[in-house]
Amino acid sequence: MAATPRDVLDLHRRWCIADSHADSLMWNRDLCARSDEGHVDFPRLFDVGVKLQCFTLVTRGFPFIGGFETFAAVRGWPREARANEWTRALWQIEQLETFCARSEGRARVTTTGAALEENLAQGRLSAVLGVEGAHALEGRAERVAELHARGVRFIGLTHLSNNDAGGSSFPMMGNRPLSELGHAVLGEMVRVGMSVDLAHASERTLEDILAHPTARYFSSHTGVRGAGGGWRNLSDDVLRRIAERGGVVGIILAPVYLGGDSIDDVVRHIEHALDVMGEEGVGIGSDYDGMVALPKGFQDVTDLPKLTEALLRRHPEARVERVLGGNFRRFFRETLGA
């Protein structure tokens, strides 16, 4: 018998539903208030039983276009927060801290594996912080430690364009490797215990990161090349290497990377990743609020049960539970730190 929407919500409330990527902070919405704008806020996350949500700090705009400072001004960021990439990162951290403080104990910025498990036991949302692009460091590798002290637990060394740390997977970026600064940033991340997000790395930068002997890495939001879709999707070889290091790949919900705009297309990418990586290597990395469309039938995070229903029609509950969050629970329990 197929699972009903009520059955699926019951499962969501029991499971550790986890999503490894949302860009909600850059929009300057009050995440404590339910909104009909965008994809994510605390009330909507609570509605569908999300227990672990990664929030990423975006500090630079599209290549060749730029415009992030104008975007931030339009969204009501204070002038001092818009001043440079470093201040943009710090302000978004402060915003999430404020939202969690106002959540009446229902959400916390989460920085250790023990705190993640405690939050799950107490029914709280674990908010995990990451950075999209080491350009936020403005050339100073020592700032990795400061971000770690402020609660950041992963960094993607590049985002939508090349920076002084390495190469982006965005088209026409030249497939650059990690720079000397990039290697220094990577070394500092390993030293402080921060994970590397591979989502936007060029193939040569990706290879440099994968070659590090001890770095912990994952991909917060991606499609998989073997299932078709977009230019930045990961190859089977990279998927295997991520799984061998205990990493997880968050399958993106954006049709531009899936090669189709239906929930079945998301399922196709999940199933290919499962075939290549095994059951412990696959999760969900939505890219909510990331200026991308969602599949047909998806308006926001409250439609996530539709994906769960689609997976349950084809896979046992235990496997679906891992994909919907169990694998990221394990990964972050291991990597957030003590």
Please list the pLDDT of the chain residue by residue as tens digits (338 residues).
Answer: 456 667 899 999 999 999 999 999 999 999 999 999 999 999 999 999 999 999 999 999 876 566 899 999 999 999 999 999 999 999 999 999 999 999 999 999 999 999 999 999 999 999 999 999 999 999 999 999 999 999 999 999 999 999 999 999 998 899 999 999 999 999 999 999 999 999 999 999 999 999 999 999 999 999 999 999 878 899 999 999 999 999 999 999 999 999 999 999 999 999 999 999 999 999 999 999 999 999 999 999 999 999 999 999 999 999 999 999 999 999 999 999 88
| pLDDT in the model for residue 2 | 57
Give the global pTM.
0.96
The span from the CA of 316 to the CA of 78, in Å, is 49
- The structure tokens 């950041």 sit at 152
SS3 at position 243: helix
CB 5 within 8 A of CB 309: yes
- How many Cβ atoms sit within 10 Å of the Cβ of residue 296? 12
Listed in sequence order, the residues at least 6 apart from 8 whose beta carbon sits closer than 8 Å to its beta carbon are: 305, 308, 309, 312
Q: Provide φ and ψ at 6, rounded to 5°.
A: -70, -40
User: Hey, what domains does the chain have and what are their CATH numbers?
Assistant: 5-335 (3.20.20.140)
- The structure tokens 């590090």 sit at 212
